[in-house]
Amino acid sequence: MRTIRSQGKLACSTLALALTASTVMAQMTDEAKAFLGENGIDAGLIAQADAAASQEFEIPAEWLEKAAAEGAIDFSTNDAAQHVAKWLPVFQARYPEIDIVATETSGAARAVQPLLAFKSGRLVRHVLVSFESSLTDFIEADALEELDDLPAWNGVPEDRRAADGTFAGMQNTTWCMIYNKNRVSEDELPATWWDLVSEDSALKDGRVGAANRSQLWTLNLWTHPDYGPERMTNEFLPAFFDTLKPQLRAEGVGGMINLPLVGEFDVGLPTPNDETWEIMQTGAPAGWHCPEPVPQYFNLIGMFRDSPTHYSSKVFINWILSQEGQLTRLAAGGDGPVHKDLQVAGGALLADAFAGKDIALRTLDGMLNELPKLNDVWNPIWAASGGAQ
């Protein structure tokens, strides 16, 4: 578990100057412009984010005044520490009065444990990300604060935010398949998922390694009109396990990325665009391919109710949702923007593999209502096929 803390507080005179109006408006900071320009973000996107800043950062002055008096935000993140170390100073350049302790966590430590603490009357985290697998529990506990008064809220597409304003998508991730370019030719790659599991699939008989992560790609197909629950249950999943005969691995996503490159299998499934891009930058013989429809989902961000960092957390989340924040996190760690105005060329890593293709979006309804139904089918067949638990 790695923790990074932002440095310093805003001087009182500077804060007083910032609070001379009822709302605080701004342009993109020089630090943000420099960081984005130095890290490969298109100049047109930087100019677009700069133009949007005056609206997206129209923060009530009262929020900043109260934020400056609050303690540090305890932020539970799945970002690698080196990525946080890149984007956090850009946030700090805009809001030096807000202190953040960013702790890299995963699994239960990121969502389950903070929720249990909240239900017992304690807060061990203030801002949370990537808590999709526990979303139902958060809703039942009425644990999340409304965020729909944030100036940047409307930049999040309606199908990627809560109708009641309690959580929002913060980044898009696209899940496809990595392959070893020395062992797989392009003409062996399937155009669709149906092609992958067909009788004449070039990748059957153990050439594919699969992780036990149905929520990352098969859920997208389960809710897609060309697949759907009935066809997934009776056609696709039986063909995936019985015809394709993938290696069913105990490793997670990291294993699916690395093991094809050392010859354990030829294709790893599922793998995300950002982490796959990183391994490709090392010169490894890695390719990345997206059958249609392309599985994509959005990670969530939210904050607990009754937080002692209520105002500073809202200001921070607003920055995360703004175009400045979205592009900064793309440049720092490859996190794909969810902002509706950034779904353009240059707005995601490895976009050439899925640009213009049919997207199978993992929806909120899918996570809340359909995932349990999928797991009732997936889990028994995974186990019966010898899948590692």
What is the β-pairing status of strands 59-60 and 100-104? Answer: unpaired
Let me know how long the chain is: 389
Closest by CA to 316, choosing from 43, 109, 59, is 59
Residue 233 located in a structural domain: yes
The better pLDDT of the pair 131, 328 is held by 328
Do 238 and 190 lie in one domain? The reply is yes
pLDDT of amino acid 108: 83
Encode pLDDT of 266-292 as tens digits.
999 999 999 999 999 999 999 999 999
Confidence of residue 330 (pLDDT cuts 50, 70, 90): very high
Tell me the CATH number at 161. 3.40.190.10
Position 104 pLDDT exceeds 90: no
Residue 108 located in a structural domain: yes
Residues 266 and 360 in one domain: yes
Judge if 106 and 232 occupy the same domain.
no
Q: Could you report the per-residue pLDDT of 192-211, keeping only the tens digit for each?
A: 999 999 999 999 999 999 99
| pLDDT score of 22 | 58
On whether both 128 and 184 belong to a single domain, the answer is no
According to DSSP, the β-strands at 286-289 and 168-180 are antiparallel
Q: What is the gyration radius of the CA atoms in the chain, in angstroms?
A: 22
Q: Rounded distance, CA 173 to CA 331, Å?
A: 15
Q: Are residues 148 and 281 in the same domain?
A: no
Please give the distance of CA 202 from its chain centroid, rounded to a whole number: 31
Contact assessment for residue 297 and residue 274, using Cβ atoms and an 8 Å cutoff = no
| 99 shares its domain with 162 | yes
**Euclidean distance between CA atoms 261 and 315, whole angstroms:** 42
> Can you tell me whether residue 292 is helix, strand or coil?
strand
- Whether 246 and 275 map to the same domain: the answer is yes
Q: Is residue 33 part of a domain?
A: yes
182 pLDDT more than 70: yes
Question: Is residue 265 a contact partner of residue 207, using CB atoms and an 8 Å limit?
Answer: yes
Same domain, 304 and 286: no
Q: Are residues 227 and 120 in the same domain?
A: no
Cα separation, 18 vs 241, in Å, equals 60
Specify the number of domains making up the chain: 2
Average pLDDT of the residues in 152-158: 96
Pair (293, 308) in one structural domain:
no
> For residues 44, 47, 48 and 52, what is the CA-based torsion angle, rounded to 10 degrees?
170
Same domain, 35 and 19: yes
Beta carbons of 132 and 213 less than 8 angstroms apart: no
Confidence band for 17, pLDDT divided at 50, 70 and 90 = very low
Q: Does any domain span residue 389?
A: no
**Residues 19 and 35 both lie in one domain:** yes
Confidence of residue 364 (pLDDT cuts 50, 70, 90): confident
Among 309, 325, 342, identify where a domain stops. Answer: 342
Domain that holds residue 251: 173-297+350-384
Rounded to whole angstroms, the Cα distance separating 252 from 105 reads 16
Return the H-helix or E-strand segment holding 364: helix 364-365
What mean pLDDT is predicted for residues 47-61?
Answer: 97
DSSP letter assigned to residue 124: S
For the chain, the average pLDDT equals 92
Q: Is residue 304 part of a domain?
A: yes
